[in-house]
Each structure stands twice: as C-alpha cells, then as structure tokens.
Amino acid sequence: MKPVLREVRRFPEFVRWRNPLLILLMVLRETLRPFMYWYIFDIFETDLRLPGPEPYSKESFEVRIYGGNKDLKRAVEDLTCLDDLLPADIELRFSRGDVVAVAYAADEAVGCMWLTFSTGMELGLGTSWILEATEALRYGAFVRPDWRGRALHSVLNNTLNRYAQQRRILRTLSGISVFNSQSRRLHKRFRSARAMRVFLFRVRGVKWTYRKALGAPLESRFAVAPGFQSRSARSPMDAHRLWKIAAQLLSFQTSRRRESGTRS
C-alpha cells in the first residue's frame, strides 16, 4: 500500500485516541515548525531488580527476539512490512548490538519493540541519551493498527525487560512524548513514576536551543550532542504529516464528489 494511503487510513485512529487539546497543541507546533519546534518527553526508568508488573493482554502471542547477523534476514523480512523500516536501518541497529522483540499471531508479525545498549541515541534536537553499562533503552515500539488496543505493547515491554535482566542489565529506560497518548497508557496502567520530564525547544533561524529537565539534572541522563537517529527513513507520524494527510483527504473527497457529480 502507498505510504499516503496508509497514512490516510491511520488518520481516524490518530485523532480518536488523542485528547483534543493535545491535537490542537500538535497542530500549533507543526504550524510553527518553520520558525520553532519543541518536544516534551517523559522519561521512565524500570528497576529490573524489583518485581515488575505483569503484561495485561488477554491474548497470547509468540514473541521472538532477534539480534546480530544470523537473525538479520528473518528480521528484515518480518519488520520491513510491519513498521516501514528499511533493511539498512535494521542492519545498522543490529550492527551496534540492538535487539528487537517481534510478536507473532498465527505466524504473522504484528508488533515489535527495540532495545539498545549503546549510549548516544538521539532523543531530539541534538540531545542524546547517556546509558551506563548496566542500562538499556527501549525504543521503536510499534503494533500493527489492526492489533492495537489488545495490550500487545505490555507483552513486548515485558519480554524486553526479561531479556535485559538475563543480560545482567539492572535498569531499562524509555522516553515517551507527552503527545503520544497511546504509548503513555502503558505507564499509566503500570503506575510507573516518571523519572524526568525533558523540555526541548529550538528557534530555527538563529539555531538557538533551550533544554530543561525537571526531576533530575539534564546532564545526568543526556548529552548535548547530535546522537544517532533511530531510523534513517522517516520520522514517526507527527502533526506536520497530519496536516498533509488532512489536505490529501480533503482533495481526495473533493475529487470523488466531483467524479460522482459528473456521473450523475
């Protein structure tokens, strides 16, 4: 399916599961994008030495973990059609030691989540993660749209935490945008305490960036340096793309109306 059509199909879901105020804020942010941009991330930490909450999915999934050269072919086959990742992205992630948990339903890949052990992944606006040797970062969670709302996210999250534990990792981390209501539900359900809230704000013309963290000093967790991106292809859906999709939807509907008008 063409990316535009895929986005058009995702549009109702994007709006449905977000608070209208958040949508307004995202639209405002994207309107101001040529001049300024901002992110607000909540940082969550999971102490793997403590008993963690159980996944709350009522369905059962087979979850496999891939990483390294031997798994590359299978991961590329299953993930490129799932999350639009490029084979080069997957290769790059594996080459730096990242692993991915892939969930299967009837042998079809329906969701995934990544784990990196490397310091330097970019949070945003030239601000990158610092990881200790006993820490790992969960990122890139994705559940196929027709499998969302079945708590697969919690299953993937739990699988990666258990995997990290086996690798003698003591703490896993994640950074969730305050605009990502669906992703934040996991932490709400687990009642996870937020370790930090990070504000990143950039004025584009003068390349001025303001960074502020609440809860802990920014430098305790982040370096001011452009880190590696989690994907080379395209960024996750944001309101800028939302605008484009809305415009495309409108023009699509208008042309359909015109077509049916011509026919009748």
Interface with ligand COA (CB under 6 A): 13, 17, 141-143, 148-154, 176, 180, 182-183, 185-186, 189, 236
Q: What is the C-alpha separation between 22 and 240, in angstroms, rounded?
A: 14
Answer for the pair 99, 114: CB distance below 8 angstroms, yes or no.
Answer: yes
Tokens 């991330």 belong to: 41
Length of the chain counted residue by residue: 264
Of 143 and 169, the one with the shorter C-beta distance to ligand COA is: 143
Which segments of 32-71 does DSSP mark as H helices, in order? none
Q: What is the C-alpha separation between 180 and 14, in angstroms, rounded?
A: 10
Of 85 and 176, the one with the shorter C-beta distance to ligand COA is: 176
Q: How far is the CB of 205 from ligand COA (least distance, A)?
A: 30
Of 3 and 236, the one with the shorter C-beta distance to ligand COA is: 236
Tokens 């981390």 belong to: 173
Q: How far is the CB of 30 from ligand COA (least distance, A)?
A: 16
Answer for the pair 97, 117: CB distance below 8 angstroms, yes or no.
Answer: yes
Q: What is the greatest pairwise CA distance in the chain?
A: 69
Q: How far is the CB of 217 from ligand COA (least distance, A)?
A: 24
Q: How far is the CB of 194 from ligand COA (least distance, A)?
A: 14
For ligand COA, the nearest residue by Cβ is: 149
CA atoms within 13 A on the CB side of 43: 25
Of 232 and 254, the one with the shorter C-beta distance to ligand COA is: 232
Q: How far is the CB of 148 from ligand COA (least distance, A)?
A: 3
Of 148 and 162, the one with the shorter C-beta distance to ligand COA is: 148
CA-closest candidate to residue 43, choices 178, 155, 223, 168: 178
